[in-house]
Amino acid sequence: MIEISHVNKWYTPSFQVLTDCTTSVTKGEVVVVCGPSGSGKSTLIKCVNALEPFQSGDILVDGTKVNDPKTNLPKLRSRVGMVFQHFELFPHLKIIDNLCLAQEKVLGRPRDKAQTKGMQLLERVGLKEQAQKFPAQLSGGQQQRVAIARALAMDPIVMLFDEPTSALDPEMVSEVLDVMVDLAREGMTMMVVTHEMGFARKVANRVIFMDRGEIVEDASKDDFFGKPRSDRAQKFLSKILSH
């Protein structure tokens, strides 16, 4: 579903953020990307739907080359759902309109169909009653669940999560993770940048560990948590799992 091969990215000629990153996500797979801050994991996931450009290498999503100038990027992006750290709901639109905007303007769905779809998804994330409210009237956890519903409304073939729980109060983390776990169990293809190792243990098929722009470890979940091969991954794990 996602093929990342030999991707290199520089912010300036002397500052390389991604170094020869190669990995893939197959259909129905849940891949967790972890690593210390500044290791390039958010940058890598943003390269997948071309929110960030990169200088060399290739990324294919469902067979379409992301870095081909001829690729219709809006069309490609409409099939790739993305959830951000800071939710990024559109504050001037009601919750239901947040879910309908791209359905109508990008997919060309008629308003009533978009609304039906939107209400179904709000029900699924447990927020049907909030449909007529505005984002600022919801808690962080609720906003993030709306953001997930908004991405799902586009019927994505794959979902990208960029630290979806990092900006949340601790008591709101689980309500968001619950939605993600359900999604994973239903067979959604997911690439998730997160520090939530509990989530990784529960539903991940594979774990990718990044450090200083490189993919240091790319292993099945059991291998990663059981016996990480690299020193750096071992140290990282021992630090974040020690409490």
Partner 1 sequence: MARSRGGHVNYNWNWGIFFQPNPMGTGTYLDMLLSGLALTLKTAALAWVIALITGSIVGVMRTLPSKGANWFGFAYVEFFRNMPLLVQLFLWFFVLPELLPKGAGTWLKQLPNAPFWTAAIGVGFFMSARVAVQLQAGIGSLPRGQKMAATALGLTTVQTYRYVLLPMAFRIILPPLTSEFLNTIKNTAVAITIGLLELTGQARSMQEFSFQVFEAFTAATLLYLLVNAVVVTAMRFLERWVAIPGYITGK
The footprint of partner 1 (CB under 8 A) covers 46, 49, 51, 74-80, 82, 84-86, 88-92, 101-102, 105-107, 133-137, 147, 150-151, 154
Min separation Cβ 236 and partner 1, Å: 26
Q: Which CB sits closer to partner 1, 89 or 219?
A: 89
Q: Which CB sits closer to partner 1, 60 or 73?
A: 73
Min separation Cβ 136 and partner 1, Å: 3
Phi, psi for 82 (deg, rounded to 5): -140, 135
Q: Which CB sits closer to partner 1, 33 or 138?
A: 138
Place of tokens 């447990």: 126
Report the side by side order of strands in the sheet with 214-220: 80-83, 158-162, 190-193, 30-34, 206-211, 214-220
Q: Which CB sits closer to partner 1, 19 or 139?
A: 139
What angle do the packed helices 170-185 and 140-152 form, to 10 degrees? 20
Q: Is there a contact between 119 and 87 (Cβ–Cβ < 8 Å)?
A: no
Q: Which CB sits closer to partner 1, 147 or 233?
A: 147
Identify the three-state secondary structure at position 179.
helix
Q: Where are the alpha helices (DSSP H) in the chain?
A: 41-48, 73-78, 95-105, 111-124, 140-152, 170-185, 197-203, 221-226, 231-240
Q: Is there a contact between 110 and 51 (Cβ–Cβ < 8 Å)?
A: no
Min separation Cβ 95 and partner 1, Å: 11
